[in-house]
Structure 1
Amino acid sequence: MSPTTSADRAGFAHDPAPRLRACFAAIAAGPMAGLPLCNPALEVAAIGFRPWQGEWLGALLTPWSLSLVLIPGGGGVFRPLAADERQCWTFPSGEYAFLGNSEPEIGPYQMCSLYSPVFEFESQADAEAVAHAALDALFVAADGASEADAAAEQARLQGESVAAAPVSRRDFLRGGLLLRGRG
C-alpha cells in the first residue's frame, strides 16, 4: 500500500471524482497507452460520485474497465484493504464484493468490476449511460422499490408525514409525490 496521506485518514471532504479522473487519465496515457485490451473509443471518466454511508460511491470508466468505486469520505465505514482483500457492501439491491486498491494520488479505494475489458461499448456516451444505470440499480431493492419508496413507506407506517421522507429527482419526475398519498 502507498504511504498514508491526510486524505486516507480523514477521507475526502469534497467529491473525489476530479482527483480519481486525473489519476487514471495519467495511467491511461502512460502504462496503459496502446495496450490491446483498451477500447480506443473510451476515455477516463469518474461518474456519478455521491456521498453514501459517509463515504464516496461512484463509477470509474477507463478504456480497459468499468467499475463501481468506493473512496473514503470520513464516515468511518470504509477500511483500506490490500489488493487481494475483499469487503462486501450491502445495498438495497444486494451484497457486492469490492476489492482493495490504492494509488498515491488518491490513497486507498475499493472497486467492484462491472466490465473488463470494455469492447462492448461503441461510444463514451454508451459506457457512461451503463455506469449511471448501474449506480441507480444499486439503490433499487429486489422488489423494485427505491430507497425513497422505502423511506416513504417507513414514515407512513410510523404515522409520520410521508412528505417529510426524502424524494429523489427521479422519483419526483416519475410522479413519486403523487403516489405517496396512496396506500
Structure 2
Amino acid sequence: MSAATIGERLASIYRAIAEGAMRGMPICNPDLEVQAVGFRGHAGHAIGVVVTPWFMNIVLAEVAGGPALPPARLGDVRAVSLPAGRIEVTVGELDGFGRLDAASLFSPMFGFADPAATYQTAAAAMAALFKPDGYDVPPPARDRRALLFGRGSSAP
C-alpha cells in the first residue's frame, strides 16, 4: 500500500466521522472538508497532513510490508526526525485504521475560510518539513553598517 493510498484511506475514514459523529458539532468549521495532503514515504512509513473541519494534523502511519513504528503506548509522545528537524508526535489509534501518530498543526479550524486555504497551508507545512532547516534559501546576511543607518539588511 503506497503512502498516497494510506492518505486516501484516512480521508475516507475521517469523511465518515465528519458526516456522522462530528456533524453539526460546534468545534467544526462547516465551510471546510476532509483532505489528505502531501502523503509520501519517509523512513519506510507514510507521512502527510490530514485536514478535517475540526483539526489539521501531520500524521505518520505504517506502510504494509514496511518497518513497524517504534513500540509505544497510546498517548506517548515521541520524536520523529525529518529533513527540517525533529517533531514530536503523539501515539494514537484510529478505529478502522490502527496506529496513527500525529502532531497538531491547527485546532480548531475557524481561522480558515475554505478548502483551498487549508490545502495550501497543509501543502506548505509538508514542503517545509522536507527542506533542510525548513528554508528554501539561507536568510540574507546582515550588514551592520546598513542596520546602523536604517537601511535594513543587505546581501554580501
User: What's the TM-score, normalizing by structure 2?
Assistant: 0.79
Asked if 1:16 corresponds to 2:19, the answer is: no
Distance across 2 between alignment mates of 1:106 and 1:54 = 18
CA positional deviation for 1:107: 1.1
The worse-fitting range, judged by mean Cα deviation, of 81-90 and 23-32 is 81-90
Alignment of 1:154-165 (within 5 A): none
Which residue pairs with 1:68 in the alignment?
58
Unaligned runs of 5+ in 2: 138-156
Shift in CA distance, 81/142, structure 1 to aligned 2, threshold 3 Å: same
The correspondence for 2:34, drawn from 35, 41, 44, is 44
User: What's the TM-score, normalizing by structure 1?
Assistant: 0.68
Aligned-residue identity in percent: 34
The correspondence for 2:120, drawn from 129, 133, 143, is 129
Q: Is the 8 A contact 2:128 2:135 kept in 1?
A: no
Q: Is the 8 A contact 2:128 2:134 kept in 1?
A: no
Unaligned runs of 5+ in 1: 1-12, 147-183
- The size of the alignment, in residue pairs, is 134
Which residue pairs with 1:89 in the alignment?
80
3-state secondary structure, aligned to 1:129 = helix
Over aligned residues, Cα RMSD in angstroms?
1.8
3-state secondary structure, aligned to 1:60 = strand
Asked if 1:56 corresponds to 2:46, the answer is: yes
Q: Is the 8 A contact 1:54 1:75 kept in 2?
A: yes
3-state secondary structure, aligned to 1:119 = coil
